[in-house]
Structure 1
Amino acid sequence: MAFQPIVDVETGKPFAYEALVRGGDGEGAAEVLASVSEESRYAFDQKCRVAAIEGAVAAGILDTSACLSINFLPNAVYSPLACIQLTLKTALATGFPAERLIFEFTENEEMIDSDHVRGIVEAYQQLGFGTAIDDFGAGHAGLGLLAKFQTDYLKLDMALIRDLDRSMPRRMVVEGVVRMARSLAIGVIAEGIETVEEYEALRKMGVRYIQGYLLARPELGALPPIRVPSERISVETAEVSARRQDRRNALVGGR
C-alpha cells in the first residue's frame, strides 16, 4: 500500500490518509484491479483492507489524529456485517480506532444493484465508519447515485478539478456540487490538485479537504510530508486592505 494525505487546509494537518493499492513492480491501482478476477474479488478486497490498516499503523498513523480511507469493491461485499469482521479484527489487533476508518467506493461500470450498495453504506454508517463516493462527477458516480443514498463525503473527480481556475464551466459545476453537498451536510474532498491556481480556486469556494500531488505524492509504506501552499488569497486581501487604509490615511492627512 501507498499512502497519500487528504489535507485539512484550515489546519494544514492530515484529515485522513488514503490507502492506495500498488503492484509488486509498482503497478498502479487500475492495473492491479484489472487483474482481479470475479472469483478472487472478495479475497482481494479483504486482503487490501488488512494491508491498509497494518501498513498505516506501521507507517505511524497512530501518532496522528488522521483517519484512514480505504477503497472497497461494493460487488465483493455479500453481507456488510459478515464482510467487516476481518477489518474489525485487524483494527483491534493493531490498536487502530475503528471509528477513524473511512470507506470509499467508485464504480467504473454501472452498479448492478444500487440497493445493495445503499445497504452497505447505511450499515457502515451505523457502525460508526465514514463513507465516501470516490470520483464523483465521473462515469456512473454522479447525481443519480447521490439521489439514491448519501455518503458522508464526496470526492470530486480530478477531471472536474483540472484547470479549474481557467474554466468557468468547471467552476460553476464544482460550485454547484459544493452548495448541494453543504445543503445535504456532506463533506467535499477535492482530489487530483496539481497547481497552486487550482488550490486557490477551491479555497475560494470553501472546499476544506484537498488531496493531490501539489500537497503530497503517495509514498509506498510511508506517510509523506505535507506541503501546503502559502495562502496568496489572504496575502492579496491583506495588501488590498493596506492600500485602502493608506488612501484613507492620506485623505485624513490632507484635510
Structure 2
Amino acid sequence: MRCPDCEQVDPLVFDTTRLWFHVPTQDSFDKLTNLCDRKGIQMEKLDDRCISLTLSGSECNAFVVALYGNMTQHELKNVRVLTTDGKDPGALDIGRVVNGDVFVNRIKGSWIIEKVCDGQVETWYQPIYDFQDLDTPFGMEALLRMRDQNGAIIPADYVFRVAGDADVLFSIDLIARATAVETAAKAGYLGKIFVNFNPSSVYDPAYCLRTTAAAINDLGLKPSDIVFEITETERITDIDHLKGILNFYRRAGFMCALDDIGSGWSGLNLLHTFNPDFVKLDMELIRDIDTDMFKQSIVRNLINIAKDQGIKVIAEGIETQGEADFLKKTGADLAQGYLYSRPAPVATHQDKAPDWFRAA
C-alpha cells in the first residue's frame, strides 16, 4: 500500500535554513522584527509586511519557541512562511508555503513526524470475533503504536493530533494504514484486517488506488480482506467527497465500516448515506448495557436498522460477560473488547493462536 508521493512530508528545517515571513498587519510585523532584534538575529526587511532571515537548524527550533510565545494563534494562522535549504526560492517552492501555525506545529512535532516517516511505528491488533464462533477471529483491528525515547507507548490520539496540527495528517494516516496491512500480511494472518481511515485525510482515490491494489496483490491479499474503518465521523465536513472515495474503493472490492454509531445524529445520518458493510456501536453505549434499560432500547433499534439494510453490527468495547450476553441475544453479529483480547503486537497473537496464521 505504499505510495511514496503521498507519504512524503517535505522538510521545513535544514542545516542552513532561509526563511521568509509575510505578515498581514503592522502589529504582527512589529512583533516579528522586535523578536529578531531581541534574539540578535539578522534579518532583511523586504517591505513593510515581509522579512527574510537565515538560521541554523538548532536556531530554528529556538526561534519557533519564541515565535509561539510572542504571537497569538490567530496571528500565526494569518502568517505565511516559506523555507528553503539556504537557497533563493524557485518556482517549485510555491507549494512549500505554509501558514505560521502549521510551521510552528510542524517544528514542535518534528520528532514524531520523523519517527513515523522513518518507519519507527508499530501496529498492534485487537481481534474481532463472530458471536457464533469465539474461538477464531473474524478479523483484527489494526492500531497505531509509537514509543518515546524511553520506550513508553505514545497515545495514538496524540500522534494524530500532532499530525493534524502540523498539516501532515494525510501522510501519517497513509503510513499507518500501509504499515498495518504489511505487518499482518507478512505474519500470514488469515482473517480480515480493519484499518482505520481518518476522514480528515481525504484524498484523490484514483491517484492511489492502483498503488494500493498492486501492493495488496504483492502481499498475497485480496481487496475483500481489507476493511477501511472510518473513524472520528463527527469531524466529516465533505460528505460527498468521502462518499465518492468509499464508493471508488468498494467498487474495487474493498469493504468499509463506520465507527462509533450511536454517538450522535450525524452517525445515524452517515449510516443512511454510506450504507457501509459494518457498523461499530459506540463504546459508551456498550458500557453496562446489561443493566441500563435506556441504552438497551437505543441499541435494539440501531441493530434493527442495520439488519434491515444488510449491515453487520460490531459491538466494540465489551468488558463484561453480562454486556456480551445481552448484545449476543439482541442480535449483534461481531464482538470486540477486553473481555476477549486486548490489543497486542502480531507476534503475541501468533504465539497464542497459531491457527489464525498461515504456516511459514
Change (3 A) 1:170 1:144: same
Pick aligned residue for 1:41 from 169, 176, 186: 169
Q: Deviations over 1:203-250 (max 9, x none)?
A: 111212000000011102336348xxxxxxxxxxxxxxxxxxxxxxxx
1:26 aligns with 2:153: yes
Q: In the alignment, is residue 128 of structure 1 matched against residue 253 of structure 2?
A: yes
Alignment of 1:75-90 (within 5 A): 75-90=200-215
- TM-superposed deviation, 1:123: 1.4
Residue number in structure 2 paired with 1:91: 216
Contact 2:261 2:282 in 1 (8 A): yes
Q: Does 1:118 align with 2:240?
A: no
1:42 positional shift = 1.8
| In 2: Cα distance, 1:195 partner to 1:84 partner | 40
Look up the SS of the partner of 1:146 in the other structure: helix
Mark the CA change 1:159 to 1:182 in structure 2 (over 3 Å): closer, same or farther. Answer: same
1:108 CA displacement: 5.7
For residues 127 and 182 of structure 1, the distance between their equivalents in structure 2, rounded to whole angstroms, comes to 24
Moved more, 152-161 or 38-47: 38-47
SS in 2 for 1:215: coil
- Residue identity in the other structure for 1:7: Y
Range with greater deviation from structure 2 (23-32 or 158-167): 23-32
**Aligned twin of 2:127:** 5
Report the identity percentage: 38
Deviation at 1:92, TM superposition (A): 2.1
Residue from 309, 314, 339 that aligns with 1:214: 339
Q: CA deviation at 1:98?
A: 2.2
Moved over 4 A (4+): none
1:42 aligns to what SS in structure 2? Answer: helix
Distance 1:131 1:108 in 2: 13
- Structure with the larger RCO, 1 or 2 (CA within 8 Å, 6+ apart): 1
Two-structure CA RMSD over aligned residues (Å): 1.8
Alignment deviations for residues 158-215 of structure 1 (CA, whole Å, 9 cap, x no partner): 1000000000010110000000101011110010000000000001112120000000
- Alpha-carbon distance between aligned partners in 2 of 1:108 and 1:99, rounded to the nearest angstrom: 23
TM-score, normalised to structure 1, is: 0.81
SS of equivalent residue, structure 2 residue 275: coil
Correspondent of 1:142 among 247, 256, 267: 267
Q: Is the 8 A contact 2:317 2:336 kept in 1?
A: yes
- Give the CA deviation at 1:122: 1.3
Work out which of the two has the higher radius of gyration on C-alpha atoms and give 1 or 2: 2
Q: What's the CA shift string for 1:114-136, capped at 9, x where partnerless?
A: 11111122112111111000111
Q: Give structure 2 stretches of 5+ with no counterpart.
A: 1-122, 354-360
CA distance in 2, matches of 1:214, 1:31: 26
**Match of 2:263, SS?**
coil
Structure with more strand by fraction? 2
Contact 1:17 1:67 survives alignment (8 Å): yes
Q: TM-score, normalised by structure 2?
A: 0.59
Structure 1 residues without counterparts, runs of 5 or longer: 227-255
Deviations 1:72-103 (A, max 9, x none): 12232321232333332331222122221100
